[in-house]
A and B are shown apart, each in its own frame.
Chain A
Amino acid sequence: MTRFLFPLGIFLVLSVFLAVGLKLDPREVPSPLIDKPAPAFQLVQLQDPGKTLAPGDLKGKVWIFNVWASWCVACLQEHPLLVELSRQNLVPIYGLNYKDGRDNALKWLDRHGNPYTLSAMDADGRVGIDYGVYGVPETYVIDKNGVIRFKQIGPVTQKVLEEKILPLVRQLQG
């Protein structure tokens, strides 16, 4: 009799996990890329299609890499924070314009302000795949050696910015 109860037992354990899982936020899954070199790419710049952007160009400085798109509603939520951050000149923000159209992206920046030193166009999301982008927006902190040190999935909030991103940036800038 008892061995026939095994399937039920296994299932009940599984459902407890699933119940706990419901309360957790899967968006907090960290990137396996933390402490790994930022994946290389060479993408066209948004404003100047004749030029490209590659992470290798940014060696030697700490920078923030923000994935955004004009069609992304949650991006608007974090956008004022990013614009404010760029005014303070603490750390350069580079954008990855994800699965977007150039005209729309430029219009969006005109309307809402442009916090980005540069934005690269990842029109079909291929670089996004290399970076393990779950959804837009996402934000990475990359150190002087081109290593990813932090990843935020979903909009950057005031709290995350003050408690995590800025202290980390200061520490990395040393």
Chain B
Amino acid sequence: MIPELGQFALIIALCIALVQGVLPIVGAARGDVTWMNVARPAAQGQIVFVAIAFGCLAYSFVTNDFSVLNVVNNSNSSLPWYYRFAATWGSHEGSLLLWVLMLTVWMLAVTLFSRHLPLEMVSRILGVMALISVGFLLFMLLTSNPFERLLPAAPDGRDLNPLLQDPGMVIHPPMLYMGYVGFSVAFAFAVAALLGGQLDATWARWSRPWTTMAWVFLTIGIALGSGWAYYELGWGGWWFWDPVENASFMPWLLGTALIHSLAVTEKRGGFKVWTVLLAIVTFSLSLLGTFLVRSGVLTSVHAFATDPARGVFILGFLVVVIGGSLALFAWRAPKVGLGGKFDFLSRESALLANNLLLIVAAASVLLGTLYPLFLDALGLGKISVGPPYFEAVFVPLMAPAIFLMGVGPLAKWKQAELPDLAHRLKWALAVALITALLLPFTMGKWTPMIAFGLLLALWVVISGFVNVWQRVSQLRAANGLGTGAQLRGLPRGYYGMLLAHAGVAVLIAGVTLVKGYEVERDVRMQAGDTVEVGGYTFRLDGLVQVPGPNYEATRGLVSVLKNGKSVRTMFPEKRLYHVQQMPMTEAAIDTGFTRDLYVALGEPVGNNAWVVRIYHKPFVDWIWGGAFLMALGGILAITDRRYRLARQAEQQIPNAAATVTA
């Protein structure tokens, strides 16, 4: 009964989405207020029914309803309840439902935080989002029904993939999807602006916080996924250039470009056409990522079941959504007009260069991901593209972008002077260069790559400090207040930018140091054996059997000693999950600010001996720390006063929204 209720709720949600996708858009074209007013209540109704459907599926999972095919394939009665709940989005069908749920959450957010937007704009935005929702609901109902019954019911389920039985996997997909789907808001804003012909600084200021928020979620989602791979796959890697990882990374790169391009549109009214195109392409790549993951055109460790009907449906949907919006772009964009002029040397041109580099980077990731498919389709043979390609292409593209990160924020809008910039940044560059050249010697090994990586990281941080210092001294000269007051007076958007850039620097430092200095030892150990790695002594004290809720684990007891003193005991596990009979490595990680100690059990080699993998990974956590700093910077930027002030001003003066400029 409950699953049928869920399916029925999905059908109702589809009907609401159809109404919401048609009436408000037509209403906005005709100036019909009654039709436009349908948008908000429809969006709020849609989330209710999608949430009911999601609740019904979650209920079927938590209560072990093995007459539902999806539950049988992805759950088991001995699975702890929280993983049964997380299994709701562990399958292809369930993750689509999560996708739509996230989309309706964003729609609800738009209905709540759009009081200051003109009604036509809101109607078009919600209408476009509803049309996307129609596509996904149809996809689910036609090809991937999460509520399909299995009669007679199975006695028990086949269990959730043990890889996914992990706290990281409980929150990683919702975060990632919030990011993916969040770009639909920026997309809807762009399409609405093209439809309405209103594309100005106000439009950019409205889209900016939404875009940043989606980017924050995507950043956290990708970082969680990478962290999960690090501790769950058991060999200490954190990024594999797998097609599915690339599918999330491409929208991230373009989303980053979009954030910067929106800044120019808001502050200077420039890059309008460019920004609109980026907004469309960013969301298109989110959709393309979904297509690549769900259709099985590419092989991947994450690939779900391959079903040609699904691939055809998604491709058709892609052609309609992306092709339609790009056609609209080709039709309407020529009328938008260009922004203000700017010199070759200016903050605009720095941001434009940054945009181009990010886009080329995204394009090369796309090329690497699809290249095997292209060659195959042209009958030119079959190849696989691996990490060496991506690393060879990515580093040279990112290095100049990182350099610009130091220059851009200091350059003046419209026109900057090279001697002036060089004067202001020469000390930053000198300090960064000398530190980067000398620092590796103190750490025991000097290579060009380590020094170069450190140079980039230091450059970003030091030029950030120069930026703050110069801004404060300029202001002090202007209004005479003290340094503390000046620092407090700077807008949060500015601090958010600095923090996000510092996050990039921290990430680069982490990647550089872990690649340069990590020590990996795979050794055969018996109880009592010791091994020395990275200045620590590891002693295997023994192995015990530990039963888990749905697995049996062999747990190693490993003492870590430094200078003869015991620092801590680590417990790496090898688990054998009962239902799928799949062994899983549960690494023990001692996380530290400057290093991780990573111990994982390999295989038993007889006589109670095991192959044990012991890694010393310096600064590896800085990789995720950097990502979270970026996300934090984004959150700080969203809470900037000017968004709230603008909103208050507009509420006091009705209908002022259309005339307010930044």
Residues on A lying within 8 angstroms of B by beta carbon are: 1, 4-5, 7-8, 11-12, 14-15, 17-22, 24, 26-32, 43-44, 49-50, 52, 70-71, 99-101, 104, 121-124, 126, 129, 132, 134-135
Contact = CB atoms under 8 A, between A and B. Distances in A.
Interface in B349-390: 370, 372-374, 376-377, 382-384, 386
Contacts of B311: 22
A8 B280 CA distance: 11
B107 to A, nearest CB: 26
Given A18-B291, A27-B299, A50 B606 contact: yes
A7 B333 CA distance: 12
Given A29-B299, A32-B383, A44-B606, A21 B377 contact: yes
B315 interface: yes
Contact of A17 (B312, B326, B327, B377): B377
Contact of B604 (A4, A44, A71): A44
9 contacts: A4-B273, A7-B280, A7-B329, A15-B322, A20-B377, A22-B311, A26-B376, A32-B386, A104-B581
A52 B298 CA distance: 35
B199 to A, nearest CB: 14
Given A18-B315, A124-B603, A101 B576 contact: yes
A14 B369 CA distance: 13
A24 B580 CA distance: 30
A29 B330 contact: no
Contacts of B70: none
Contact of B581 (A21, A22, A52, A101): A101
Contacts of B603: 43-44, 121-124
B660 interface: no
A123 B327 CA distance: 52
A22 B312 CA distance: 8
Which of the four size classes fits the interface of chain B? Answer: 35 or more
Contacts of A100: 581, 583
Nearest to A22: B311
A5 B330 contact: yes
Nearest to B318: A15
Given A12-B323, A21-B376, A99 B583 contact: yes
B165 interface: no
Nearest to B296: A26
A70 B315 contact: no
Contacts of B574: 123
Contacts of A15: 315, 318-319, 322-323
B297 A21 contact: yes
Contacts of A11: 284, 322-323, 326
A52 to B, nearest CB: 8
A160 to B, nearest CB: 16
9 closest A-B pairs by beta carbon, nearest first, are A49-B606, A8-B326, A20-B377, A21-B297, A4-B330, A21-B373, A50-B606, A22-B311, A123-B603
Contacts of A26: 296-299, 372-373, 376
Contact of A1 (B318, B334, B606): B334
Q: Which of A15, A43, A71, A121 has the most chain B CB atoms inside 10 A of its CB?
A: A15
